[in-house]
């Protein structure tokens, strides 16, 4: 007859289950990205024995200030309000249409202006972060190891 201590070692604790589940999810997420499955319902009835060996690294929680990311419609509304110009309205409408119909060509043609816009956004982001409250951010988790199907 097995002793209680021996029996407890045979049963996986909920913490161990969580760790194994996390390791499996991380390891298999990479593998499943390339799997092609046709639309429809697919029945599965398999018993699989696996070996999970590796290390889970969990970083400390941190605080980070949110990134400045204004909504496009808010930016356009502010521009229209500030300039109150009919021609600006027409130009914005034309520009949005161009971005919607030929975005790749538009981006190539405006490469220098995009760099300037990126710098302007970085400056606005720096100003925003000065006043924004830091928010908690969960520490990152990673699994380094391997999962082997034994059966």
The pLDDT tens digits of the residues spanning 38-65 come to 999 999 898 888 888 999 999 999 998 8
What mean pLDDT is predicted for residues 2-7? 50
CA atoms within 13 A on the CB side of 1: 2
Residue-level pLDDT at 9: 52
Over range 19-48, report the average pLDDT: 85
Give the three-class secondary structure for 121. helix
Residue 149 has pLDDT above 70, yes or no: yes
**From CA 67, how far away is CA 124, in angstroms rounded?**
10
Q: By the 8 A CB rule, do 106 and 117 touch? A: no
Band of pLDDT at residue 12, cut at 50, 70 and 90: low
Residue 98: C-alpha distances to residues 8, 68, 86, 112 (Å): 67, 25, 19, 17
Q: How confident is the model at residue 1 (pLDDT cuts 50, 70, 90)?
A: very low
Reference 127, options 70, 56, 62; nearest CA is 70
% of the chain exceeding 70 in pLDDT: 91
Q: What is the mean pLDDT of the chain?
A: 85
At residue 126, the pLDDT reads 93
Which secondary structure element, helix H or strand E, spans residue 26, and what is its range?
helix 14-32
Reduce the DSSP state of residue 49 to 3 states and report it.
Answer: coil
- Per-residue pLDDT at 52: 87
The residue extents of the domains of the chain are 4-35+43-59+139-149, 72-132
**Residues 99, 106 contacting (CB under 8 angstroms):** yes
What does the pLDDT read at residue 8? 52
pLDDT digits (tens, 9 = 90+) for 79-102: 999 888 889 999 999 989 988 998
């Amino acid at each position: 007859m097995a002793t209680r201590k021996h029996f407890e070692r045979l049963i996986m604790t909920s913490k161990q289950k969580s760790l194994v589940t996390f390791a499996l999810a991380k390891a298999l997420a990479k593998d499943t990205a390339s799997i092609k499955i046709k639309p429809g319902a697919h029945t599965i009835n398999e018993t699989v024995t696996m070996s999970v060996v590796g290390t889970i690294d969990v970083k400390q929680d941190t605080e980070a200030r949110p990134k400045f990311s204004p909504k496009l419609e808010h930016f356009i509304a502010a521009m229209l309000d500030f300039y109150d110009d009919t021609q600006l309205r027409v130009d914005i409408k034309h520009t949005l249409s161009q971005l919607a119909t030929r975005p790749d060509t538009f981006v190539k043609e405006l490469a220098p202006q995009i760099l300037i816009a990126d710098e302007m956004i970085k400056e606005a982001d720096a100003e925003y972060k000065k006043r924004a409250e830091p928010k908690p951010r969960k520490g990152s988790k990673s699994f380094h190891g391997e999962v082997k199907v034994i059966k």
